[in-house]
Structure 1
Amino acid sequence: MSQLSDKDVILSVHEYNFKKTSSQDSFNIAFGIDKHFLFGCGVAISSILLNNKTINFEFHVFTDSFSEDDKSRFSALAEQYQSCIKVYLIDCEKLKSLPSTKNWSYATYFRFIIADYFYNKIDKLLYLDADIACKGSIQELVDYVFAEQEIAAVVSERDVEWWTNRALRLTTPELTSGYFNAGFLLININEWHKNNISNKAIEMLRVPEWVEKITHLDQDVLNVLLAGKVRFINGKYNTRFSINYELKEGVDNPVNDETVFIHYIGPTKPWHEWASYPISKSFLLAKDASPWHNVDLLKPTNSNQFRYSAKHKFNQKMYVKGILNYLHYYKLKIIK
């Protein structure tokens, strides 16, 4: 079965609404995450609210897990900012047959469920990955008007050489004009539905010939399906930076005063305790201004994390901790 209905996969909805204004004129933002990103998602929402105090928001979090502690913190976040947060618990069994990797779980496909769920409910939706921090106004996105037949507003990834590479690999010549990162999608819900994007994407992900071509899962698929039907907007709305770049010499940091969303790509996230760099400041400020203010940053739990933590500790001149993390890393590798 190629189609996924939100009625099939949404098990329950938890609503925390402390708004004093009507929901009718809300700007809607959605996240699709697994349980490992709930901490980051809560702080991401806090960062948006912190920097956009005059905008009437509704947040929608689609996730596979939601504990009593999570319920308490998300409710407190909505109350603190007098906002509305709805959390949708998803049955993921029908998504587990789709391709996944160590870095991308089946939760990456939640955006298909999300886009379909909002058809006939709203016209415009901002989809964001949860590993972001907001540091500026998004009023331009609230006021954004789609062109005719435009399915989404997006931000390009990398450069012309990369676009050409993807165009060749994905046999889609239009991608030479631009390939986008799917961690930011301002979606025209009606056009998305009219073009049947979600079902086409699911169908493609079940065709072995396509699965062999794609390396970035749903991002590749969306670039193929939306080629020529998106508008590329200012990179300040999806400024990507990997905290692991801090381990390299001479890497330019693209985050500047104009940046609205910092997108923390890569395996090291700002909620990891080894991510102690200025680039994490926007996340940490939002964390301090949220119900997660008293939650400790996460320590390494697996061999990959211990390895990165060790490298960062050495980079931060914390040599004893670096050595201890390397010892944990080798111990876990031997056990494997």
Structure 2
Amino acid sequence: RRKVAEQIHIGFGIDKNFGKFAGVTITSLVHNNIQHDLNIHIVYDQLLPEDMERLKKTEQLYRNLTLHFYQITSTEGMTFVVPPGHITQAMYYRYLFADLLPKSVKRLIYMDADIICKGELLPLWQTDLQGRVLGAVRDWGEEKSCVRIGLKNGRYFNSGVLLMDLVKWRQQKLTQKLFRWLEQVGTTKILWGDQDALNGVIDGDFVELPKIYNGIVINNTTLNEELDVVLVHYIDYIKPWHIYYMDSNAKELYWEYVKKSLWSDMKPMDGKTVHTAIMTARLLHKQGKYAQSASYYEALLKYFLKDKYE
């Protein structure tokens, strides 16, 4: 007899730039959890029509995949503090699952759309939350963050993967508390947006999940090498889909799932800053593509010398 398939609920909160990346993450989830039914809840403001189309085609491809879409049309009563940099308003959408999803969904694994799953999620899904509203993995830079937002307990989690008890979330009216915290503390201390507010409100009262469920990798650092995890999370503003992401196992892993997905025509994205142009030139040089590398340096020279370079 076949073991009864678990219904696992997973949530994403995205904007139109992340439709395809969510598609790659979802592809990796399905491939590695084929024995369970994955119910994926996507909260979004806008999606590109071609991404929406491919997401729906992905759903048809896999019998264990069901997608649910929730479009946000009004952001009334929500305070979004969006720090400068690579973080967007969409990061706050993870607050809205308890309110938007049917009450029958009692727990949810939230994940960012810059994650690759390479193993089974069932043990994470079945984690005992011991009466708490959240399970999460502690963040790698936690001391600084605790000091910055004034946490007493010395524990600060990364909000890229969250196991949420939606029943408790609704009971505790956590969404209102989070937006209130953002209003009050707001721009004064915020560096990591949604993550700071979650930590500020929950203040250490979370179940600590094993690191394998949020294995942080950062471009060109030693944090890149520990890939024996279930969820690989590409934090930082340099993503594996950027042309200038350094060659590594983590990068190969990402592109392996791009190729398996309906976004297999994806091309590495170019940057728009001087910094990314230099990184691209260096990487191309390292790969032995000297002419291409030189063309980036040349473009930079032209840019800096503008009129003098005629």
TM over 0.5: yes
Matched, 1:173 2:152: yes
- The offset of 1:171, in angstroms, is 1.9
State the distance in 1 between where 2:297 and 2:76 align.
39
The residue that corresponds to 1:58 in the other structure is 39
The residue that corresponds to 1:199 in the other structure is 176
- The offset of 1:272, in angstroms, is 2.2
CA contact (8 A) 1:95 1:109 kept: no
- The offset of 1:304, in angstroms, is 4.9
The residue that corresponds to 1:319 in the other structure is 290
CA contact (8 A) 2:114 2:233 kept: yes
What amino acid does structure 1 have at the position aligned with 2:289?
Answer: M
The residue that corresponds to 1:308 in the other structure is 279
What amino acid does structure 2 have at the position aligned with 1:85?
Answer: L
- The offset of 1:319, in angstroms, is 3.3
The residue that corresponds to 2:211 in the other structure is 235
- The offset of 1:216, in angstroms, is 1.3
Deviation per residue, 1:10-39 (Å, 9 max, x gap): xxxxxxxxxxxx9x9621111111222212
What amino acid does structure 2 have at the position aligned with 1:221?
Answer: A
Deviation per residue, 1:131-169 (Å, 9 max, x gap): 000111111023223212x111100111xxx43333332
The residue that corresponds to 1:283 in the other structure is 254
What amino acid does structure 1 have at the position aligned with 2:236?
Answer: G
The SS at the match of 1:173 is coil
- The offset of 1:193, in angstroms, is 1.7
Distance verdict in 2 for CA 1:332–1:55, change over 3 Å:
farther
Distance verdict in 2 for CA 1:252–1:147, change over 3 Å:
closer
Deviation per residue, 1:217-248 (Å, 9 max, x gap): 11111112112321111101001111243xxx
Matched, 1:37 2:18: yes
CA contact (8 A) 2:81 2:186 kept: no
State the distance in 2 between where 1:151 and 1:332 align.
51
Distance verdict in 2 for CA 1:99–1:277, change over 3 Å:
same
The residue that corresponds to 2:95 in the other structure is 112
Matched, 1:270 2:251: no
The residue that corresponds to 1:294 in the other structure is 265
- The offset of 1:182, in angstroms, is 0.4
- For structure 2, the 5+ residue unaligned runs are none
Q: Which moved more, 1:316-325 or 1:137-146?
A: 316-325
CA contact (8 A) 1:119 1:193 kept: no
- The offset of 1:92, in angstroms, is 6.1
Sequence identity (%): 25
State the distance in 1 between where 2:278 and 2:45 align.
28
Distance verdict in 2 for CA 1:197–1:254, change over 3 Å:
farther
- The offset of 1:57, in angstroms, is 0.5
Deviation per residue, 1:152-200 (Å, 9 max, x gap): 1100111xxx4333333222212x1x21100010001111122222111
The residue that corresponds to 1:5 in the other structure is none
CA contact (8 A) 1:153 1:187 kept: yes
What amino acid does structure 2 have at the position aligned with 1:104?
Answer: I
- The offset of 1:279, in angstroms, is 1.2
State the distance in 2 between where 1:40 and 1:298 align.
12
CA-atom RMSD in angstroms: 2.6
Q: Which moved more, 1:214-223 or 1:265-274?
A: 265-274
State the distance in 1 between where 2:77 and 2:290 align.
43
TM-score (normalised: structure 2): 0.87
State the distance in 2 between where 1:241 and 1:128 align.
15
TM-score (normalised: structure 1): 0.81
The residue that corresponds to 2:201 in the other structure is 225
Matched, 1:185 2:185: no
CA contact (8 A) 1:128 1:183 kept: yes
Q: Which residues of 2 match residues 12-161 of structure 1 at below 5 A?
A: 26-82=7-63, 83-91=65-73, 94=76, 98-100=80-82, 101-118=84-101, 120-148=103-131, 150-158=132-140
CA contact (8 A) 2:15 2:47 kept: no
Residue correspondences, number: 300
CA contact (8 A) 1:40 1:131 kept: yes
